[in-house]
Amino acid sequence: MGERINMPKLFDKVLVANRGEIAVRVIRACRTLGIKTVTIYSTADRYAAHTLMGDEAYEIGPPPPLESYLCIEKIIDVAKRSGAQAIHPGYGFLSENPAFSQACRDNGIVFIGPSPEAIKLMGNKVESRVKMAGAGVPLIPGMKAAGNHIDEFAKVASEAGYPVLIKAAAGGGGKGMRVVQKPEELQTAVEGARREAKSAFGDDTVYLEKYIINPRHIEFQVLADQHGTAVHLFERECSIQRRHQKIVEETPSTAVTPELRKQMGEAAVAVVKAANYVNAGTVEFLLDPTGKFYFLEMNTRLQVEHPITELVVGVDLAAEQIRIASGFPMSEPFRNASQRGHAIECRIYAEDAGNNFMPSIGKILLYREPTGPGVRVDSGIMQGSEVGIDYDPILAKLIVWGENRDHARARMIRALQEYKILGIRHSIKYLAEIVAHPKFASGETYTDFIPRNFADWNDGAELHLEAALAAAALVNANGKGGAGGSGQNAEHISYNPWLTSGAWRIGEAQ
């Protein structure tokens, strides 16, 4: 008899090591594949959407992430007790933590993502720059290694030319980052970046690179299986950012030509191969106004904005992640992908865009998602959900698809207008004005879009509050013998704004 071949088999049960909309997204991918799910929750998330959706749910601690969603030992313990064969980390929390990937390996649990070695390599900005330089990937001029003395920073800054950027080697999300315009600002910026990096990441290593003026932030979705196949699934433009955090993404980019797409895509795949990378990831580039592009970093996980790629390419990235981790070769739609139409995503945050993006907390009193052709909502909330201060303020993602960019943009504006959330402040109106802005319509979406066009944005909350108070006073007067008559005659109260859910909002101005 010939040698028996072990065929791949999908997992029976997957633990989702996350919360909110990404946990819901992964649960749905598992259901599509016929896989049972195990969810974990902090005491604050006992009645959260992701908790209720899992086939099994386990409490793992109090709200602080270090005592719950960031506690590797507790999560591994739940995986063992529940019989989960694999863990999907989603994004954020432990998704890019090599120690978590290693702990899964050590305990015979499959980590649905890259190896701990790949995560560690690509998680360090300095080490990854050195590796990518060897692979021929274009790099922003700057340090090839972390700097230890201010003289090293001064020398490289002089060679690259001001302005320059100080960045944390182990960081992301804008933490440990400083723009330096002139030599006399350098030492203060380096010291400040080190302090912030130490506080945020436990590592004060920083380095310097040339600051690219007026760039676009272009990223490529990549995917690799265990059988040597590595591909890219085209670009996403993520230039609309507030405080270095993306809030609007789209694909394809208005700035990327077919030839440039080919060059950048080949560079993205080169990054994957140089890192011996398996599963889904994202290679990020900066694109300068002349058309030159530079490797920025690699995110070793599924990105928040992955749905726009799914809509344009016609695939399910979360489900394919699970198939690849199970040992299956990459599916044909990924190996021979093509683009169709245009997609835009807006991230809905619980924050006050008119007040320095301060987080908003409270109870969701009313929740109504937009619907219709080409509209998708990835949400982690429902009516009655409590929004607290312990976690990232993202509530949901609104994603639309259109035959072309103008069609997608019009569809997004309409969907944002129909999206209703009462009880907390949120970013829906802010996002609608961004997508409707003439500069966005013309494709002038550079990384300075927000400070250039929305620096003094205000949603008119004070005017709406005054109108609401005036209306309430009028109603009160009508009900207490004012111009409308006696308080005993309810028929005189012809309109009460608090009994409608139209343009009136509790806790926000629309």
Whole-angstrom Cα distance, residue 341 to residue 404? 5
Q: First CA to last CA across the chain, in angstroms?
A: 73
Query: What are φ and ψ of residue 323, in 5° steps?
Result: -60, -45
- Considering the candidates 301, 323, 376, 409, report the single residue annotated as catalytic: 301
Pairing assessment for the beta strands 36-42 and 56-61 based on DSSP bridges = parallel
CA distance 207 to 408: 40
CA angle 226, 227, 228 (to 5 degrees): 100
Output Rg (C-alpha) for the chain, integer angstroms: 25
Indicate left, alpha or beta for 205 from its phi (over 0: left) and psi (-120 to 50: alpha): beta
Strands 216-224 and 206-210: unpaired
Q: What share of the chain is helix, strand, coil (3-state, %, to 5)?
A: 35, 25, 40
340 classed as catalytic: no
* 3-state SS assignment for residue 382: coil
SS (H, E, C) 253-321: CCCCCHHHHHHHHHHHHHHHHHCCCCEEEEEEEEECCCCCEEEEEEECCCCCCHHHHHHHHCCCHHHHH
The catalytic residue positions are 301
